Amino acid sequence: MSVRAFFHATKVEDAFSPYDTIHLKVFYPAQISGTNQEQNMGIVPANSQLAPFKVVIFFNGINCGPEIYQWLAVKLAERGLVVVTFSWVAQNLPGMVSLTPGVDIKMLNPNSFGSRPTASALPTLLAELERLQSQGILAGLLNLQHIILGGHSAGGRVAIESANPQFFPQVVAAFAYGAHTAAGLQIGYPSGTILPLPNAVPLMLIGGTCDGVIFQSSYRYGVNWEDPTTPIVRTFKEAISSHRGDNYLLLLEGANHFSIGYPLDFTTNSHVLDLPATQPEEQLRNLMAETIGLFIDAHICHQQTALETLNQHLVSNHPLIALFERK
């Protein structure tokens, strides 16, 4: 399937200049037509036969450029999804300007957590999708009642924390890589606290057994993790209370914190903390994309064959799967 993308920009209403602009890259299944517009301007129409398109919004890790997730966006678009990645330079913390997934720090403190979403970029992104539905390449082709949130690291955290139909009725599922809900000591939580998740939609948590960033950041939470996957496993066991059979935990053998990114930019973020991956990273990425795709196909598109294939991994002896659980 042919995949194309276009760029868009939008303003964040409650942000201050110059940190009030989000730049989007929107990936979609395309249909090469050979029209003059296509040849002269590179504007390729969407494959309307696959519409209406369910939408994935992907939240990057802090100081992780959205281009490192393009490989995943393309693979998901090849499955018939529209995928939105974005770039937002902002000052989430005083004096710290970074490429951010949009984290509402105020909503993480003990008195506020759970009362509002932590994904501060999400309302703006949803409003922009409404505009894209009304004009342009994807006009009338989006299924805005079936939006999936995904993300990496801090972006994965805000994705799973904000997947709450009480806040956003159109959000129907979420997935995250290298993310957990351990609560920081600096904002007033007791050591070792795991914050609850909404438990209202299907969730998939993915982590790597060689995640050095998580392993070496345990001091922020007042504990020493037993291994790099401890907070992800605890999030699955303690933060998710529902047992509907649509919540998954996947631990990838030999994957590190940045195994989801390719190609990587080693001049930013926290690569220095990471451990080396011990398995072929292309194979890890392929397995990651396949499992995320099957999760969406099974629980959002309600494809029985996808559900059966996904559940086969629960009992398989795949060499790259260290642990796969469902509840």
* DSSP alpha helix (H) spans, the chain: 36-41, 70-77, 122-134, 154-161, 212-215, 230-234, 281-299, 304-312
Mean local confidence (pLDDT), 68-96 = 93
Q: What percent of the chain has pLDDT over 90?
A: 86
What pLDDT is stored for residue 272 in this prediction?
Answer: 87
The candidate with the shortest Cα–Cα distance to 238, out of 152, 303, 180, 176, is: 180
The candidate with the shortest Cα–Cα distance to 3, out of 74, 68, 63, is: 74
What pLDDT is stored for residue 323 in this prediction?
Answer: 96
The candidate with the shortest Cα–Cα distance to 280, out of 259, 250, 251, is: 259
- By the 8 A CB rule, do 262 and 71 touch? yes
- By the 8 A CB rule, do 121 and 86 touch? yes
82 band by pLDDT with thresholds 50, 70 and 90: very high
**Residue 259 reports pLDDT greater than 90:** yes
Q: CA separation (Å) from 253 to 151, 152, 201, 233, 310?
A: 20, 17, 27, 14, 18
Q: Which helix (H) or strand (E) holds 43?
A: none
What pLDDT is stored for residue 37 in this prediction?
Answer: 63
Query: What are 182's strand-pairing partners?
Result: 194
CA distance 280 to 282: 6
State both tokens at 265: 């930019």
**Residue 131 reports pLDDT greater than 60:** yes
What pLDDT is stored for residue 14 in this prediction?
Answer: 87
In the chain, the largest separation of any two C-alpha atoms, in whole Å, equals 62
Q: CA separation (Å) from 285 to 63, 206, 279, 281?
A: 20, 12, 11, 6
What pLDDT is stored for residue 32 in this prediction?
Answer: 79
270 band by pLDDT with thresholds 50, 70 and 90: confident
Q: What percent of the chain has pLDDT over 70?
A: 97
**Residue 247 reports pLDDT greater than 60:** yes
Q: For residue 156, is it left (φ>0), alpha (ψ between -120 and 50) or beta?
A: alpha
CA distance 109 to 269: 24
**Residue 7 reports pLDDT greater than 60:** yes
Answer positive or negative: Cα dihedral of 281, 282, 283, 285.
Answer: positive
Q: Which residue has the higher pLDDT, 269 or 172?
A: 172
Mean local confidence (pLDDT), 10-30 = 95
What structural domains does the chain harbor? 2-326 (3.40.50.1820)
Using one digit for the tens of pLDDT, what is the confidence trace for 282-294?
A: 999 999 999 999 9
Query: What are 7's strand-pairing partners?
Result: 25
CA angle 247, 257, 268 (to 5 degrees): 135
What pLDDT is stored for residue 325 in this prediction?
Answer: 96
What pLDDT is stored for residue 92 in this prediction?
Answer: 74
**Residue 41 reports pLDDT greater than 70:** no
DSSP string, 270-300: TGGGPPPP-S-HHHHHHHHHHHHHHHHHHHT
The candidate with the shortest Cα–Cα distance to 183, out of 143, 138, 239, is: 239
34 band by pLDDT with thresholds 50, 70 and 90: low
- By the 8 A CB rule, do 55 and 73 touch? no
Mean local confidence (pLDDT), 242-268 = 95
42 band by pLDDT with thresholds 50, 70 and 90: low
Pairing of strands 321-326, 247-252: antiparallel
Using one digit for the tens of pLDDT, what is the confidence trace for 152-211?
A: 999 999 999 999 999 999 999 999 999 999 999 999 999 999 999 999 999 999 999 999
**Residue 40 reports pLDDT greater than 80:** no
